[in-house]
Every structure is written in C-alpha cells, then in structure tokens.
Structure 1
Amino acid sequence: MDAIRHHSYGPPETLVLEQVPDPVPGPDQVLVAARAHGVHLLDTTLRRGDGAGPLPAPRLPAIPGREVAGTVVAVGPGVDPAWLETRVAAHLGATPEGGGYARLAVAPVASLHRLPERLDLADAVAMIGTGRMALMTLEVAGIGPDDVVAITAAAGGLGSLFVQSALEAGARVLALAGGPRKVRAVRGLVPDAGPRLAVVDVTAPAWAEQARAALPRLDAAAATVAIDGVGGEVGGAAAGLLGPGGRLVVQGWASGRPNPVAASAVTPAGEAVQVRAVVGPGAPAFGDLRSYQRCALDRAASGAWRVLTHRVAFAEAARAHRELEERRTVGKVVLG
C-alpha cells in the first residue's frame, strides 16, 4: 500500500511516499481504506523528533497521523462483518506512531463512527480530533449571549469553529487572523453576523491597537473571554483585551511559546483574569471522548458547523507540513 513515512527526524522533506506491506486487522480491529487523513501541528513536532506532552518522539521509520476517514474493507476476528463497506471515521489512538498517513489503516472497531453519505470524508476527519477539541474548549469557556469573545488563529480548523459557535451562542466576536486571505475566510463563515463580528489582521502594523479599537464597534469596553491556541505575542495581546475577571481559555501554544498572561493571571494593564486550561496541568477530566467526536460529526453533518479544510494531495504530505508550519493554511489540514 501507499504510505507516508520518515526514516529520520527533521524538516518536512523527510516525509516520503513509499510502498509498505498491507496491514492485517487483528481481533476487534478493522481495516479502513482511508481517503482523508487528518494533519495536526503535533505531527510536525513529532516529525522533528521532539516529544509532545505525554508522547515521546516516534520510533523510526514512522507513519505519522492519528485520524482517518474512509471505508471498512476487512474485519478481524470477533468483528461483525456488517461493518464491511461502511463509511467511517476513526481516531487511531494517542501514540507517536499513529499510522494515519497510509491508504490502509488498522483501527479498533470501538473507535469507529459511521458516517452519513451527506458528510464529506475530509469534513468528517476534521471532526474526529479538531471538532472534538473545539467542543471541549467551548465547554470550558462557557460562552453566553453577554460575552465578547476574542479568538486567536480564527481561520484555523479550531478557530473557525469557535467563531461560529460563539456567534451561535449570541456572543460578539473579535476574530484575530493572519493575513487578508484568512480575514476573508473568517468573514465568510457567518455572512449574516453583521456588527457582532469584527476581524483583525494580526500581520498588519499596530494590529493590537486595531483590535483594541474594534471593541467599541462591538459595543464593548473589553473582552470577557479570550480563546487562545497560539500563545506568545499574539496570545498575550489577545489576553490583554480582557477586562477584570475575564476568562482566558488556553487550548495550546502553536507559536511554541505559552501565553504570557496564563502564568500570572494578570494582563499587561494589571487586570486580574481567570485562566482556564483545556490541555495540560489544570485541565478538567472530559470523560468519554467518543461523545465529543459524535457530537462534532453530527454538527458538521447537520450544517450547524461549516467546516474549513485545507486539502493537500496525499503524496504531498511534506508540502502540507511546511504550509502548516509556515502558517499558510486556512482551516483543518487534510491529506486526500
């Protein structure tokens, strides 16, 4: 079968298309002919040989990836043959050698979600990890109609879902996106948002001042919630938009640097804020992750969420990694 592997740690070019033996499903497993493969920033970290949280660097050679969508083509011992020819999406498990960048992937039958025909495979694979994380983050944020929500990386796979969900909850949204193309993408998510949505380009000069100036247009003196997955300068500036008692919801640090406000819970203006972690120390126990996956899939299938995907040909995984690392992607990155 075709698979993307790397035999050494390093830049995106270490990812190469190779022929490897077809895997065989074992007891309580199925074989999925995958046609959509989720790509995470975490994958780029592991490719470089850096551990990520509880995950160590992968053993080499490694096939990255943990999310696939496609059709079940074989079942292992103990699995109901009724699964054959079923369209599914699955998370392959939290291992550094996930095996998701492969045209055939072994998945535990307990990990499978049946997909309706109306749900695109790329949209489905985006929901397995990214949609799940979005719902967990929104649960922690607790957004309501009185909130003003600042969102970093608003054109990303997660950020685009946060924007839609905050507007759906009746809140006002200050979306921070990197570059004109991403600004347009965010504005197109909810075309009828009107004055409840302001979008600021974080690549523009003096963008932080522009973000502060946008708050009165949202009929607000300060944000009440900041959802940050970027950290560093951008995340700190987003947290700086919070007023007293505001909620800083931290769900990652794609910049490689943590949000500077998270450690002190005090903004540069001296305002004390609440810090709520979605991952790492202090994060809540979320329970059954499958329920979040199912809910995310249902929201995508129903049209409640418009899913933004950045699609790259399967053989061009190296390009997908480079574009993701260079922040040139809009939406969830999917190999197909």
Structure 2
Amino acid sequence: MHAIRQHAFGPAENLSYERTEDPRPGPGQVRIAVAAAGVHLLDTAIREGLRGPLPELPALPTIPGREVAGTVESLGEGVAGLWLGKRVVAHLGFAPGGYAELAVTDVDRLHEIPGNLDFAQAVAMIGTGRTTMGILQFTELGPDSVAVVLAAAGGIGTLLVQYAKHAGATVIGLAGGPEKVARVEKNGADLAVDYKDSDWPEKVRAFLGGREATVVFDGVGGDTARESVALLGPGGTHLVFGWSAEGLHNGTPLLVEGVSQEVLGPEMMRRAGGPNPVQTLELRSLSQAAAGRVTPAVTRFPLAEAAAAHRALENRATVGKVVLEP
C-alpha cells in the first residue's frame, strides 16, 4: 500500500508519500480500505515532536493519523462476517496509522456510516463532531441564547453555528478574511464578522442592539477571546476548548474566574456517560449528521499531499475539517 510516513520529528516536509507493507488485522480487528483520513491540528503538533494529550510520542518511523473512514475489506480472527464490505468510520484512539490506503483497528471502534454521509463527512463527525457534541454538553441553547462562535469557519465552528441555529439561538460567527466570513454567513450565522477588522466588537454590539452574549465558544484564545468575553452579559459562559491563536507550543487559554470553563478532559467524558463515553459522543455526533441537523464542512487533499495539508491547516488556510483522500 501507499502511506504517509514520518522518519523524524520536525516540519511538514518530513511527511513523505511511500510504499510500505500492508497491515494485517489481528484477533478482534478489521482492515479498512481507507477512503478518507482526518487531519487534526494535534497531528501537526505530534509531527513536530510535541506529545500533547498523548501518553507518549509514536515510535519512528510512523504513519500519522487517527481518524479513518472506508470499507471493511479484511477480518481478523473472531470478527463477525457481517462487517465485511460495510462502510465504516473509526477513531483509532492513541494508535497512529490513518494516513494510508489501508488501516487496521479494533472492531469495537467501528461505526457504520449513515447512508446520507460520504466518507469525508463521516471522518469529520467521528473526530471533530465528537468533540463538538462534548462541548455542547456544557450549555443549553435556545431562542433566548446569543452564541458567539470563534473560528466559525473551522471544523468545530461550522458545527457549532449549525447546531445553535437549529436550537433557535442568535448566532454571531467570527472568521478571518472575506472568504471565510462569506462561508459563515452561508452556514446560517445571523451575523458573520472578520476578527481581523479592529472594529468587529462594535459591529456585534450594534447588531445586537443592547442584547448581550450568553455564551462564547472559544477554540482560539488570545485577543479575539478577550474581546469576545467582553461581550458576555451577567451569568454568561466562556467555553474554552483550544487556543490556536497562542499556538500549541506554549499557549495557555484565557480563563476568567466565574466566567470561563475548560471543557476538554475528564468532565466532558463524565457528562457523556455510558459504559464508553467516547462512543456515546461519537454516536451522538453521527446521529446529528444523519438527521440533517449539522453538515460538516470539509477541505480535501490527496493523500500524497499530506505535507501541503499540514501547512494549510497551520496557516489557517482551510475551511472545516481537513481530510486526506487516497
């Protein structure tokens, strides 16, 4: 098979498209003919040698990627034959191996893809969608809500805008540059503004006409987060799930006592509940997409251009979920 391999930690140029041995499914595993592999911002940090939330860095050489969708084409010992030929999506957990034409994972990680989703959309929902569903556990949205969504043209931002609108909330979407702002408008935001314009907070206040924000969804941090938090009214909530403006190297989220809450971590899993909280969120995410309440945005790259995909993601030149297609 062909795959993206990394022989040393460092820049995107260290990702090379190579031919390598086909993986073999072990007991309780399946092999997937990959049609779409998700690219996460965390992948770029791991590529540079930053462990992030992982227990340890992968051994080199490695095939990056932890989100795949495709068709089951081989079964390991003990796996029911009904899985053969199924359209499936899976998050590989801490195991890498997604940036490839073939990937192996435990059968327990599989979800059958709803018929109205293509492979790339399914990959977006199994990772980005799962996180979005986890974030939404920390607030209740309704007609009285005013939601400010940072990075509203991104993978999570796109889904948050759609979900909030479906719940009846007034939605303010922030994005960088005219093209992304136009996409946020098309996605359903009541107001889309360019955070690169210094007067964007005044535009938001003028639009709201005296109303105040009730919740800020923040995966950005930095000055944009500070200005967004200032839009909150009494009792408002600042939900922090990333700080891309500060970078993944040494950034820390903006936290305001009594207002801000970091929502990634054990509390998210506790709220999800069930014997497997991760799968609870995955199923919730896929069901929301299957019902048409949310539709993920996707930026597609050929598998061989993984390095270009990483650079584009790091430079904020993408919209929605970045996906590699063999």
TM-score range, shorter chain: over 0.9
Residues 147-204 of structure 1 show CA distances to partners (whole Å, capped at 9, x for unaligned) of 11111000000001101111111111111101111101111112xx6xxx11110122
| In the alignment, structure 1 residue 52 sits paired with structure 2 residue 52 | yes
Amino acid at match of 2:71: T
Aligned to 2:108: 110
Residues 249-306 of structure 1 show CA distances to partners (whole Å, capped at 9, x for unaligned) of 011112223332x1x42xxxxxxx4222211476562332212212212222332212
Residues 91-142 of structure 1 show CA distances to partners (whole Å, capped at 9, x for unaligned) of 11124xx111111100110011112333111000100010011111111122
Aligned to 1:259: 253
The whole-number CA distance in structure 2 between the counterparts of 1:116 and 1:151 is: 28
Aligned to 2:323: 334
Moved more, 292-301 or 143-152: 292-301
Q: 1:174 to 1:101 in 2, by over 3 A?
A: same
Q: Is the 8 A contact 1:276 1:283 kept in 2?
A: no
Amino acid at match of 1:277: E
| In the alignment, structure 1 residue 321 sits paired with structure 2 residue 306 | no
Aligned to 1:245: 235
Q: Is the 8 A contact 1:148 1:220 kept in 2?
A: no
Q: Is the 8 A contact 1:151 1:238 kept in 2?
A: no
Aligned to 1:70: 70
Q: Is the 8 A contact 1:30 1:79 kept in 2?
A: yes
The whole-number CA distance in structure 2 between the counterparts of 1:186 and 1:172 is: 14
The whole-number CA distance in structure 2 between the counterparts of 1:92 and 1:10 is: 23
The whole-number CA distance in structure 2 between the counterparts of 1:163 and 1:11 is: 33
Alpha-carbon distance, 1:222 to partner: 2.2
Q: Is the 8 A contact 1:150 1:225 kept in 2?
A: yes
Q: Aligned with 2:244: secondary structure? A: coil
Superposition TM-score, scaled by structure 2 size:
0.93
| In the alignment, structure 1 residue 150 sits paired with structure 2 residue 137 | no
Amino acid at match of 1:47: R
Q: Aligned with 2:138: secondary structure? A: helix
Aligned to 1:201: 194
Number of residues paired by the alignment? 317
Aligned to 1:87: 87
Amino acid at match of 1:105: A
Alpha-carbon distance, 1:144 to partner: 2.4
Amino acid at match of 1:328: A
Aligned mate of 2:259, from 266, 269, 274:
274
For the aligned residues, what is the CA RMSD?
Answer: 1.6
Q: Aligned with 1:37: secondary structure? A: strand
The whole-number CA distance in structure 2 between the counterparts of 1:220 and 1:30 is: 56
Q: Aligned with 1:34: secondary structure? A: strand
The whole-number CA distance in structure 2 between the counterparts of 1:107 and 1:19 is: 20
Alpha-carbon distance, 1:223 to partner: 1.0
Residues 48-71 of structure 1 show CA distances to partners (whole Å, capped at 9, x for unaligned) of 001102443222111111110000
The whole-number CA distance in structure 2 between the counterparts of 1:139 and 1:212 is: 30
| In the alignment, structure 1 residue 121 sits paired with structure 2 residue 115 | no
The whole-number CA distance in structure 1 between the counterparts of 2:70 and 2:175 is: 32
Q: 1:28 to 1:282 in 2, by over 3 A?
A: closer
Q: Is the 8 A contact 2:166 2:293 kept in 1?
A: no
The whole-number CA distance in structure 2 between the counterparts of 1:148 and 1:136 is: 19
The whole-number CA distance in structure 2 between the counterparts of 1:231 and 1:259 is: 6
Alpha-carbon distance, 1:328 to partner: 0.5
Alpha-carbon distance, 1:233 to partner: 1.8
The whole-number CA distance in structure 2 between the counterparts of 1:9 and 1:211 is: 40
Alpha-carbon distance, 1:219 to partner: 3.9
Q: Which runs of 5+ in 1 are unaligned?
A: 266-272
Q: Is the 8 A contact 2:54 2:94 kept in 1?
A: no
| In the alignment, structure 1 residue 16 sits paired with structure 2 residue 16 | yes
Aligned to 2:29: 29
Moved more, 163-172 or 30-39: 163-172
Alpha-carbon distance, 1:232 to partner: 1.6
State percent identity of aligned pairs: 47
Q: Is the 8 A contact 1:50 1:56 kept in 2?
A: no
Q: Is the 8 A contact 1:174 1:215 kept in 2?
A: no
Amino acid at match of 2:191: A
Amino acid at match of 1:12: A
Q: 1:232 to 1:283 in 2, by over 3 A?
A: farther
